[in-house]
Every structure is written in structure tokens, then in C-alpha cells.
Chains A and B, each alone.
Chain A
Amino acid sequence: MQDSLRAPGRSLLRRRLKQYRSIYLMILPVLVYFLIFSFYPLILGLIQSLQKERLLGTPQFIGLKNYEALFRDRNFLQALWNSFYIGSTSLVINIMMGTILALSLNELRSRPAKAAVQTVTFLPYLFSWTVVGGVWIYVLSHNGLVNGMLDALGLERVSFFTVPAWGRPVMLFTNAWKQSGYFAVLLLASLVGIDPEVYEAAHIDGASRMQQIGRISLPMMLPTVKTLLLLGATGVLRNFDQVLIMSRPAIKDKVGSVLLFIYEQGILKMKIGLATSAAAVVLLATFLIALAVRKASRYEGSLYD
């Protein structure tokens, strides 16, 4: 009874698969690509993190020995902390700057001025870190713009890339310079969608413009802020391009990121075991951070509901 029911079902499935053959063919290249360039490297990396690398012969499984060595490596721990510190502080600063810029632009009534400020603040988002880094290395250099301005003001020049204390502020600032305008564009989009009648109603009820900003505009941005936080949380530990360009020996201890550590150990020094286990740790930590931010933002959400 069951067999006779299943048999036509199976042939039906086969017929439908056949009917959709050309559709499946359209997604086949993508699937092959992901299999080879996404899933295989992930699994290979996890396996390599449990192996002792050898130049010849089959690699040998050594359990968690690579991880033990990793956590005894002072450079790794410092890099992990640098990444977390710079990544999370940057995310908060950039969202704050983006929010301020979006609210500010939203109050601007002149359309050309609005377009000009928006375009100019958004542009650096399009530039690579090699460009943004190149610009600021020059602008902050000994003969550069900033020191020229300090000179003109009669202040002492600052050597931004050789004083360790300046390392992190420079990274945070250039990060905000590159990203704030992009965040502002996304946040502004959530303000444009607000029905003007909401503001009118608030006005009739006697709310000042500042009160309207605090009670209407700001809460309306909250969903976008949360999305930016959630998306940004997965990138907190993944700062690479910026430090590859802007890190200098004197400040490296303060700004060197964990991805830079992986690149230097794995690609330049061929310490595969150390590098792959570091990557696995970052993967796990990223997952935990994303989970924590998700939990926290849900909780906050219920406060406003």
C-alpha cells in the first residue's frame, strides 16, 4: 500500500526535476563556485588548524596544540584586543557620527546645500583603504596639511605615526572619515520615509522642533541603527586593509589587527597551523559577538515597543 503510494510520488518528483532541468542548470555554476571557493576552504582551514604543518609527507594531527601555542602568543592576544577595541569603538563612533549627520541634514532646507554635503561626505566610502590611507598618511605627515595648520597656529608639530599614543586615535578618526557619510545616507533614508503629518500633529500639540527630533526622528532611526549595529558586529574583528596600509613599526603594537596577524603568520611566514587556528578563533569570536549584539538589541527594542 505504502509502496504503491510512494512510487508515483517518486516518479512525479523525477518528472518535476526533469521539467526544471534548465532552471537547475542556471544555478549550477554558482553552486560549484561556492563548493570550491567557500565551503572547501572553510573545512580545509579547520582541518589545518588541527595539524602540524610539514613541508613533505602527510600532515600529522596534533589535536589542539596549535590553539595552545596561539594563546601563549603575546602578539596574537595583543592583536585580538587591538581588533576588538578599534573595531567596536569605530562602529559606535561611526553610527553616532552618521546619526548626527543625518539628523543635521534632515533639518537643512536648502536642497543644493544638502546634496553637496551628502555627496562630499559619502564619497570616501567609495574609496579603497589604500586611497584613504594614502591621503591621511600624507595629510598627517611631517610636512603635511595638519602639521602645516598646527605650525600656522603656532603649535608644536605632531608625529602621528611614530608616537604610539596616536596610533588608535588616528585609526578611529580615519575610519569615521571613511564610513560616517555612508551610515548617514542609510539613516537619512529612514527619516525621509516619515509621514510629514506626524510632525504636523506634534506641532499642533505644541512640541518644539527639538522635541520633535528627540521624540519622532530619533526613534524612527532606531531600526536602521540596529541593522547597522548587527551588520557591523560581524566586522568588528575583521579590520585588515586599513592597518595593512597605515600601520607603522612604532604604532603596530597598538593597532596591529588579528587579520594582519593571520596574514603575516600564514602567508608571509608560512606558519599554517598558527594562522588557521587564529582564523578559527576569530570566526568563533565573531559569531559570539554577533549573537550578543543580537540579544542586546532585541532587549532594547522591547523598551520602545
Chain B
Amino acid sequence: MTDKKRAPEQLLRNELSPFQKAGNHLLLLLFFLTMIVPMVNVLAVSFSPRLASMQPGVILWPSEWTFNGYQTVWTRANLSRAFFNSSLVSLSGTFAQILLSSMAGYVLVQKNLPFRKALSLLILFTLMIPGDLTLISIYALNKQLGLLNSYQGLIINGLVSGFSILLMRNYFQSVPESLAESARIDKASELRVFFSIYLPLSLPGLASITFLEFVGKWNALMLPVTIISDPALYTLPMVLRQLAFATDSTSGVDYIAPNAQMAAIVISVIPLIILYTFAQRFLIGGLTLGATKG
């Protein structure tokens, strides 16, 4: 009986008393409502007509459905341009990140490589240098390299992260070495071993870093506000920030009504939610690994 695992249903167990159970359900309901009511509010306002969105009160369903807010913010607040900028920078940055950090992770699992320990330590050390604290020198550096106000600047800063490298290394460590050895005996090049053996066997790892890096780049605010001042290069978070400040001032010609502001918020999270539904099943493993081994 001890060496045979039984299905959970067969195990003896007790539950909370009905009273405790009700309390627990109430608690979860409270959590759930606190999270979802503001989201529903934002959605409802984004589909409301301009005037209705400016009225005080609890709006959880639009009085009448309209895409006006979306149209306004897409054209007048230049959200289309920011959406393009953010997509370009996040996609190319994530692609480069995946390639570079998985290659580096592959190097770190070569058992007999001279100076492997030193390389690992070096990368571990970069995790301890907080990029946000070197902000001023990052600005100076970008100025020296002519990267201020450029797409290249947005992509190159944060091109590689030590975190992704170590995450990929952890996944590569579970790839059986005998596979690589037999390929090498067949005269396969290192790049071939990497691309045709290691990468396909580490898809959950790739999915996790793709997701985490894309989210990080899509949401980045500190770096863009530091190196970008040209409105044509604004990323989505920068435009959202402007809109958030506009909420306060109800006067002015260029006033963007709440329905358009909330539409901007909805537009900017759609890619994240789509990506989340795809990456979800890989994600928990990646996050847990990141939190315990990162």
C-alpha cells in the first residue's frame, strides 16, 4: 500500500466545516470582485459614448455601445503610431533576446569548457547590477553612442538579461548529454547541435522567456522616458502616461474623454492577454523556476 500511489479521491480526508467553507467562499468572492469590478468598469466606460463616460456614477455596462472612444484615441491621441512603435521594439527585442540568451545558456552547460565557472559568475553578477540605478550613466552612454531618440536605442538597451540566460541554462541542463555527443561524433557543428537538439527539447523554457521578455518590453516605461523625447517614437506606456495625467485637467481644447482613455488602456493590454492565453500552460513552471532559481 505504501509504494502504490492512490488517486486523490481514494484518500481519506476531511474538509472545512460548512460555516468555515462559507467564510472561505466569501473571502474569495471579495478578492474576485476587487479585481474584476475595476476591469469591468474600464471596459464598460471604453464602449460608452463620450458624454455618458463623463457622468459621475457606477458604470458597469455601457448605456449604449459605441466604438467612438476607440476611434478617437486611435487617431487623435496618436495611439496607432505608439502601438506600431511598441510592437516593433518589443517583437524585435524579444526575438534577439531569445536567440542571444539561449546561445549563452547553451555555452554555460558545456561541461569541459575552460573558464565556464567564471562566465557563469560574471552573468550572475550582472543580475545584481540594477539597471534602474545606473539610469544617469545609461543616458550618458546612449548619448555617446547616438542612440537617443531612436528605435535602435529602444531595442539595444535591455537586449540581453542574465535572468533569461540562467533560465535557459536550467532548461538545457536537463537535455541528455549523450544526444549531443552522438551528434558531435557524426560531425555536427556546435550551432547545429544547439539548433536541432537543445532548442527543440527546451520549448517550455523558450515559451517562458518569450512571454516574460515580451511583457517586460511591452510594459517598459523607465528606459523609454529616459532616452526618448520625440513624440513620434513614443511607446504605448508613454502615451498612456500622458493620458493618465490628462484625467486630472478637465479643461483644455485637447481634452480626451474617459471613454477614449479607457479605450487606450484596453487596446494596450489586448496583446498581453492574447499572449497569456497561449503561454499559460508553460507559464507557471517558468515563473516558479524563475522565483526559486533566478
Enumerate chain A interface residues (CB-CB to B < 8 A). Answer: 13, 16-17, 20, 22-24, 26-27, 29-31, 33-34, 36-42, 44-45, 48, 100-101, 104-105, 107-109, 113, 116-117, 120-121, 123-124, 126-131, 133-139, 141-145, 147-149, 151-152, 161, 177, 180-182, 185-186, 189, 196-197, 199-200, 203-204, 208-210, 212, 224, 227-228, 231, 234, 238, 240-241, 244-246, 248, 259, 262-263, 266-267, 272, 275-276, 279, 282-283, 286
Enumerate chain B interface residues (CB-CB to A < 8 A). Answer: 8, 11-17, 20-21, 24-25, 27-28, 31-32, 34-39, 41-42, 45, 54-59, 100-101, 103-104, 106-108, 110, 112-114, 119, 122-123, 126, 129-141, 156-157, 159-160, 162, 165, 189-191, 194, 215, 218-222, 225-226, 236-238, 240-241, 243-244, 247-248, 258, 261-262, 264-265, 268-269, 272-273, 276, 284, 287-288, 291-292, 294
Contact status B35-A259, CB under 8 Å: no
Most chain-B Cβ atoms within 10 A of its Cβ — which of A13, A152, A199?
A199
The residue from B14, B17, B194 contacting A26, defined by CB atoms under 8 A apart: B194
Contact status A48-B136, CB under 8 Å: yes
The residue from B135, B191, B272 contacting A263, defined by CB atoms under 8 A apart: B135
Contact status B56-A30, CB under 8 Å: no
Which residues on the B side are within 8 Å of A267 (C-beta)? 135-136, 139, 226
Determine the residue in chain A with the shortest Cβ distance to B9: A196
Contact status B31-A131, CB under 8 Å: no
Closest approach, in angstroms, between the C-beta of B150 and any C-beta of chain A? Answer: 15
- Given the interface pairs A30-B104, A120-B32, the reply to whether A131 lies near B56 with Cβ below 8 Å is no
Determine the residue in chain A with the shortest Cβ distance to B96: A29
Contact status A22-B189, CB under 8 Å: yes
Which residues on the A side are within 8 Å of B15 (C-beta)? 107, 109, 209
Which residues on the A side are within 8 Å of B56 (C-beta)? 142-144, 147-148, 151
Closest approach, in angstroms, between the C-beta of A225 and any C-beta of chain B? Answer: 11
7 smallest CB-CB distances across A and B, nearest first, come from A128-B219, A41-B137, A143-B56, A130-B240, A41-B134, A266-B136, A44-B137
Q: What are 6 A-to-B residue pairs whose CB atoms are below 8 Å?
A: A24-B107, A37-B156, A130-B240, A138-B261, A147-B56, A279-B136
Which residues on the A side are within 8 Å of B191 (C-beta)? 22, 26
Contact status A117-B136, CB under 8 Å: no
The residue from A109, A196, A203, A244 contacting B221, defined by CB atoms under 8 A apart: A244
How far is it, in angstroms, between the C-alpha of A165 and the C-alpha of B7 when the chains are bound? Answer: 54
How far is it, in angstroms, between the C-alpha of A163 and the C-alpha of B200 when the chains are bound? Answer: 56
The residue from A45, A137, A143, A152 contacting B244, defined by CB atoms under 8 A apart: A137
How far is it, in angstroms, between the C-alpha of A41 and the C-alpha of B226 when the chains are bound? Answer: 14
Closest approach, in angstroms, between the C-beta of B110 and any C-beta of chain A? Answer: 6
Which residues on the B side are within 8 Å of A245 (C-beta)? 221, 241, 244
Contact status A41-B41, CB under 8 Å: no
How far is it, in angstroms, between the C-alpha of A143 and the C-alpha of B48 when the chains are bound? Answer: 15
Contact status B38-A136, CB under 8 Å: yes
Which residues on the B side are within 8 Å of A34 (C-beta)? 122-123, 126, 160, 162
Closest approach, in angstroms, between the C-beta of B77 and any C-beta of chain A? Answer: 13
Most chain-A Cβ atoms within 10 A of its Cβ — which of B35, B54, B122, B248?
B35
- Given the interface pairs A37-B157, A104-B27, A145-B38, the reply to whether A152 lies near B133 with Cβ below 8 Å is no
Contact status B137-A197, CB under 8 Å: no
